[in-house]
Structure 1
Amino acid sequence: MSAAPRIVLDSNVCLDLFAFGDPAVAPLLHALRSGAVAAVTDAPCREEWQRILDYPQLALDPAARARCLREYDQALRPFAHDGAGETKLPRCADPDDQKFLELAHAAGARWLLSRDHALVVLGRRTARAGWFEIMTPRTWVALEAWRSPGG
C-alpha cells in the first residue's frame, strides 16, 4: 500500500464516481487516480457494491455494470482484516453501514466519505477519538483535505 493517506468510500460515493460521473466529485476521482489518496475496500464493501450495481432503479445495462465494477477495482485496493478489534466503534443507525466504519478503523483510514446521514453524524465522535474523519465527498473536495500538510 502506498504512503498516501487511506480513504474509505461508501457505496453512494462510488455511484457518484463510477456510475454517474458527478462533476462535483471529479477532484476526488483525480486524487484517487493520481495516488494522492489510497482508497481501500474489503469483501463486505465490495459485495455491497456488486449488489447495488444490479438495482433496477439504477437502470445500468450489463456493460455499464461491468465498467463500474472494473473502475471500482482499479481505484480501490483490497484491505484484509478480521473485523474484530479491541476498539468500541460507535454504532451506526443503519446497520448496513457499520462495515464502512469497521473498514476505516481497521485500515487506519484518515477519511470515510459518505452521503449517508447515519454515517456523517458520527464524524465528530470518530474524529474526537482520533480515528478518522467522516464527511461528505463535497465537503472533502471543498476542504481540499488531501492537499493539507501531512496529508
Structure 2
Amino acid sequence: MACAPCAAPAMVLDTNATLDWLLFGNPGMNAIKASIQSGQVRWISCSRMRVELACMLFHPRLAAWGGDRTQALAVFDRWTQACPEPCDSRPSGPRCSDPNDQVFVDLALVYGARWLVTHDRALLKLARALRHRVAVVRPGDWHEP
C-alpha cells in the first residue's frame, strides 16, 4: 500500500516499540495496537524500517524470546502503510544524535505523522524541538486521537 494522505492520523513506531508489540506482547502497546487495527490511526513505515525490524527479530540475542518471527513480519506487513524512503526529500529540522534513528524522524516529518512512538533516549530528546510538528512519546504516554 503506498503512503498517501488519509483521514486517519499517521503514526511512526520505532523498532523497539514495534518489537514490544510484535515479539514481546507488551501490554503497554495494546491501545496503539487497537487503534491501528481499528483504522483510527495509520502506522506508516518504509523499507529501511522493515529491514531493521527483520534484523532485530532474527538477532541471536533475542533468540531466548518465544514467538514466531515470520509471523511478526507478516503482522508488520499487514498493518503498516509502506511509504517511499524519506531520504530524497529530507525535511529541515532537528537531527537525531543517533544517525540510525534519523529515519524515524524524517519519515514522521515528511509524511506528517502526528506521533513518533519510542523508548529511545536519542529520539525522546527531540520531543521538545519537534513538538509543533510531531509528538514524540513513549508507548505508555500515547493517547487515542
Normalised by the size of structure 1, how large is the TM-score? 0.86
Corresponding residue number in structure 2 for 1:54: 58
Give the gaps of 5 or more residues in structure 1: none
Task: Give the whole-Å Cα distance in 2 for the aligned partners of 1:92 and 1:59.
Answer: 29
Q: 2:84: which partner in 1?
A: 80
Give me the identity figure in percent: 33
Please list, as runs of the form range in 1=range in 2, the aligned pairs for 1:2-151 lying within 5 A after superposition: 2-59=6-63, 64-85=68-89, 87-127=91-131, 130-140=132-142, 144=143, 146-147=144-145
How far residue 63 of structure 1 moved from its aligned partner, in angstroms, is 7.0
CA distance in 2, matches of 1:126, 1:71: 29
- Please identify, of 31-40 and 74-83, the stretch whose mean Cα deviation from structure 2 is larger: 74-83
Secondary structure in 1 matching 2:48: helix
Amino acid at match of 1:95: P
The one-character-per-residue Cα deviations of 1:33-61 (angstroms, maximum 9, x if unpaired) are 00110000001111111111111111168
1:78, distance to aligned residue in structure 2 (A): 0.2
| Aligned 8 A contact 2:91 2:106 in 1 | no
What is the number of equivalent residue pairs in this alignment? 141
SS in 1 for 2:88: coil
Q: How far apart are 1:85 and its partner, in Å? A: 3.1
TM-score normalized by structure 2? 0.89
CA shift digits 1:118-147 (9 cap, x unpaired): 0011011011xx32110111111xxx2x23
Query: Structure 2, unaligned stretches of length 5 or more?
Result: none
Residues in 2 aligned to 1:86 and 1:17: alpha-carbon distance in whole angstroms = 28
> Structure 1: which 4+ aligned runs deviate by more than 4 Å?
60-63
Q: For the structure 1 residues 122 and 48, does the alpha-carbon distance in structure 2 shift closer, same or farther, using more than 3 Å as the test?
A: same
